[in-house]
């Protein structure tokens, strides 16, 4: 009976340790995300060439991901009767400019979709339209005169 208790305790401990290891070592990159690792010892940035699950040493590597889906960003003006859209663009992150993005904004800058779209918005509506920004891809430009609704 005593041996059975010891084996049971060891099994529970092994299961808890396995779940803990999975929680901190396994990272997931979805099909609409672009993943990269940051080596904490050397500072090297390495793009992940596929999506799926990755087993990484959390002491050595930090795994980050950026959303690749296109997003509509817009400049609006608040009018007494509602919000008026002055200009809008459909933009997405361009993985070819990853190193520039990290150099300009840091590796944690695109953690949330809101943060990423705000960064892309700044460059998309710059005087050159984002042409000098290698991590920005403008898919389409939409002006209110092109039939876009001016109210929310």
Q: What is the rounded distance in angstroms from the CA atom of residue 4 to the CA atom of residue 129?
A: 70
pLDDT of residue 119: 94
φ and ψ at 18, to 5 degrees?
-65, -45
Are the CB atoms for 28 and 52 separated by under 8 Å? Answer: yes
Predicted confidence band of residue 72 (pLDDT cuts 50, 70, 90): very high
Helix ranges, the chain (H): 2-25, 98-105, 113-124
pLDDT one-digit tens code per residue, 94-150: 999 999 999 999 999 988 999 999 999 999 998 888 888 999 999 988 766 554 444
- pTM comes to 0.76
Residue ranges covered by each domain of the chain: 2-67, 71-146
Q: How many residues does the chain have?
A: 152
**Is residue 151 scored above 70 in pLDDT?**
no
């Amino acid at each position: 009976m005593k041996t059975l208790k010891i084996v049971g305790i060891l099994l529970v401990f092994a299961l808890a340790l396995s779940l803990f290891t999975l929680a901190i070592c396994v990272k997931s990159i979805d099909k609409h995300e672009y993943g990269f690792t940051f080596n904490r010892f050397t500072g090297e940035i390495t793009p992940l060439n596929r999506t799926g699950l990755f087993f990484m040493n959390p002491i050595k590597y930090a795994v980050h991901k950026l959303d690749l889906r296109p997003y509509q960003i817009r400049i609006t003006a608040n009018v007494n009767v509602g919000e008026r859209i002055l200009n809008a663009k459909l933009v997405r992150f361009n993985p070819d400019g990853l190193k520039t993005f990290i150099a300009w904004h840091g590796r944690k800058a695109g953690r949330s979709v809101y943060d990423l779209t705000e960064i892309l918005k700044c460059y998309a509506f710059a005087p050159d339209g984002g042409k000098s920004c290698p991590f920005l891809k403008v898919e389409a430009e939409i002006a209110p005169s092109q039939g876009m609704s001016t109210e929310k």
